[in-house]
Amino acid sequence: MRTDLAQDIVRLTGEHLTLVASAMVIAILLGVPLGIVATRRPGARRWILGMASVMQTIPSLALFGFLIPIPLIGGIGQRTVIVSLFLYALLPILRNTFVGINGVDPAVSESAVAMGMTDAQLLWQVQLPLATRTILAGIRVATVTTIGTATIAAAIGGGGLGVFIFRGVASVDTTQILAGAIPSAGLALLADWGLAWLERKLSPA
């Protein structure tokens, strides 16, 4: 019994991490570039930030409901979960990218332009390095939230640590609930520390 539980914890933690990591990778790959586009194109800015904010307001279970009937990205299982986790993670990353770049001292950006930097040089050599800290802070917030939100994946057969929690709630078994909640909280804390460390490590000067 004991070893069974331990094995389950390891397996479901693995699943949980897979869900979170997949969603985060997609969210970063899309959120950072979209945030950059928002700083470059005032016309696109409202749409990009607006859409991401709207996503954030949809209750997660409702989002599952909307996604399940959609072909390719929907259905029962991990895929739907990853898509919705990604949609939630998008806003903090996108917004912090935007804010981080726009928050660079205008005198610094202006002198970069005045010295004849191309827009790409301004972005890569000046704005992104100076915005790194803010962007990473967005990724950190998104990761920690996603680890928590991912527990509801079990509701639509997505697996992960939520399996324990749903099972425990259904059978009024505190041990099961804790077997899901404690590793999940532990993962969130680890991610928080790890990313905070990275933030300090990578932030310039």
Q: Which residues sit at the interface with other proteins, rule CB under 8 A? A: 105, 107-108, 110-118, 121, 125-126, 129-130, 204-205
E strand intervals along the chain:
none
CA angle (179, 64, 94) in 5-degree steps: 90
For residue 202, count other CB atoms closer than 10 A to its CB.
Answer: 12
The DSSP letter of residue 150 is G
Residue with tokens 């928080």: 192
| Cα–Cα distance, 117 to 103 (Å, whole number) | 19
Smaller CB separation from other proteins, 107 or 172: 107
Output 118 or 174, the one with its CB closest to other proteins: 118
Residue 199 CB, nearest approach to other proteins (Å): 15
For other proteins, the closer of residues 72 and 107 by Cβ is 107
DSSP string, 154-167: GGGT--STHHHHHH
Length of the chain: 205
Measured from the CB atom, the residue of 65 and 129 that comes closer to other proteins is 129
Cβ 44 to other proteins, closest distance in Å?
Answer: 22
What is the smallest separation between the CB atom of 32 and other proteins, expressed in angstroms? 18
Nearer to other proteins, 110 or 173 (CB): 110
Using alpha carbons, list the distances in angstroms from residue 149 to 86, 89, 144: 11, 10, 9
CB of 127 to other proteins, least distance (A): 10
Closer residue to other proteins, CB minimum distance, 17 or 117: 117
* Least spacing, CB of residue 121 vs other proteins, in Å: 7
Q: How far apart are CA 62 and CA 149, in angstroms?
A: 13
CB of 134 to other proteins, least distance (A): 14
Whether residue 39 contacts residue 98, with contact meaning beta carbons closer than 8 Å, is answered with: yes
Handedness of CA 177, 183, 188, 189 (dihedral sign): positive
